[in-house]
Amino acid sequence: MKFVDEFRDPDKAQFLLTEIRALVGRIERCRSRPLSIMEVCGGHTHAIFRYGIETMLPEEIELVHGPGCPVCVLPMGRVDDCITIAQTPGTIFTTFGDAMRVPGSKQSLLQAKADGADVRMVYSPADALALARKHPDKQVVFFGLGFETTMPSTALTVLRAEAERIDNFSLFCNHITIIPTVKAILDSPDFQIDGFLGPGHVSMVIGNTPYNFIADHYRRPIVVAGFEPLDILHSIWMVLKQLAEGRAEVENQYSRIVPEHGNQVALDAIGKVFELREFFEWRGLGSIDHSGVRMRKEYARYDAERKFKVLDAVIADPKACQCGEVLKGVLKPWGCKVFGTDCTPETPMGALMVSSEGACAAYYRFGDLEKIHLKQVAARAPERA
């Protein structure tokens, strides 16, 4: 495929790996412990596993798979609310595909569909709006989720619904924002990340400047990265170069997509339709201040939270889950007590086992389970001693 294969060139990968190994040799601190680089975005996690990038990197580099999988971090209470809405007679509930399998406290949307709720998979909020046009006698609800990447398309769909006066359309807004979440991770007492790969598609919307605090205040390098495997290796090389030279800056590897100040049209649409919530509950991380958005009251007519009775109950994650520690990089997925035993992709207990972008699901599906098992035994040995 033209314009894609160029970014998957194995010879260029080998060249970058040689350069990466050379840089690792220059970084003092990785002689005592591996360097931790967190990719914030679930899209990166997916690409890292799909291309086997972790298996190519020198042992001195550990990738920590961060909180950027919006499907994973969706709390159970919100899934329950989705199901309540979907089960309301006369409702068509529309959602992106991979949210269908996320378990609520009792069932997932996929199970609710099997029980008779009209749940439909769509590829875009515009598809949901088209359904609303087609079925004026039904209430069509779109399950809006994701970071700033998906926010503009949902906002523009609400604006379109308003312009066309399609009043049987509404949005169940579960959009979340990346910056407060990264900040929460940086502030956690057990934080130990050496550098970040910044989320490319979020940055396409918000630009690079919102990350300045990571470099200025927390003195950590962050490189906004693309999603092709060479993008990822190149970005890792850029983080290492900063570490080797003692710099902490915001750099943009994905400049073919990400403008310095983001996309103003998208930002305007977001600002017009959404406002920050005081706090939002994350699966695995708990409540984080100002980390979610809701619809402004001017758009109340299109707000499913106001149209339908939702409980918005906070349901605690299962006690055995250690997703929070894994998200922060304190624990490797296989270090979790329930990884691969009580928690598997078929019966996920925790956030990170839910979507293929979740770190645990990725290790479980794509990882070398035998090696992981050995590490698991080693990690648990001190407990027994």
Partner 1 sequence: MTMIDEQPPRAGKRPATVQGSAITLAHGGGGKAMHDLIEDVFLGSFDNAVLATLEDQARFSLADLARHGDRLAFTTDSYVVKPLEFPGGDIGKLAVCGTVNDLAVGGAIPLHLSCAVILEEGLPIELLRRIMRSMAVTARAAGVQIVTGDTKVVERGACDRLYINTAGIGVIRAGVELGADRGRPGDVVLVNGLLGDHGAAILNARGDLALSTPIESDCAALHGLIGALLAAAPGTRFLRDATRGGVATVLNEIARASRVGIEIAENQTPIRSEVKGFCEILGLDPLYLANEGKIVCVVPEAEADAALAAMRAHPLGAGAAAIGRMTSKQPGRVVMHTGFGGRRIVDMLIGEQLPRIC
Binding site for partner 1 (CB under 8 A): 1, 4, 8, 10, 13-14, 42-43, 46, 49-56, 70-71, 96-101, 110, 121-123, 127, 145-147, 149-150, 201, 229, 345-346, 355-357, 364-370
Q: Shortest gap between Cβ of 212 and partner 1 (angstroms)?
A: 24
Q: Shortest gap between Cβ of 365 and partner 1 (angstroms)?
A: 5
Q: Shortest gap between Cβ of 356 and partner 1 (angstroms)?
A: 7
> Alpha carbon of 317 to those of 73, 213, 226, 264, 346: distances in Å?
11, 31, 32, 37, 17
**b/e map 279-298, b = 16+ CB within 10 Å:** ebbbbbbeebeebbbbbeee
Task: CB nearer to partner 1: give 149 or 242.
Answer: 149
Task: CB nearer to partner 1: give 51 or 211.
Answer: 51
d(Cα 285, Cα 180) in Å, to the nearest integer? 12
CB 320 within 8 A of CB 86: no
Task: CB nearer to partner 1: give 191 or 366.
Answer: 366
Helix (H) / strand (E) element for 19: namely helix 10-26
Q: Shortest gap between Cβ of 243 and partner 1 (angstroms)?
A: 23
HSE-CB at 252 with a 13 A cutoff on CA atoms is 21
Task: CB nearer to partner 1: give 140 or 215.
Answer: 140
Strand order in the sheet with 250-252: 61-68, 35-41, 195-199, 222-225, 250-252
Task: CB nearer to partner 1: give 135 or 306.
Answer: 135
Q: Shortest gap between Cβ of 332 and partner 1 (angstroms)?
A: 17
Nearest 5°: phi and psi at 252? -120, 105
d(Cα 321, Cα 335) in Å, to the nearest integer? 11
Q: Shortest gap between Cβ of 229 and partner 1 (angstroms)?
A: 5
- Report which of 88, 13, 9, 87 is spatially closest to residue 53, judged by C-alpha positions: 13
Q: Shortest gap between Cβ of 252 and partner 1 (angstroms)?
A: 19
Task: CB nearer to partner 1: give 3 or 384.
Answer: 3
Task: CB nearer to partner 1: give 234 or 307.
Answer: 234
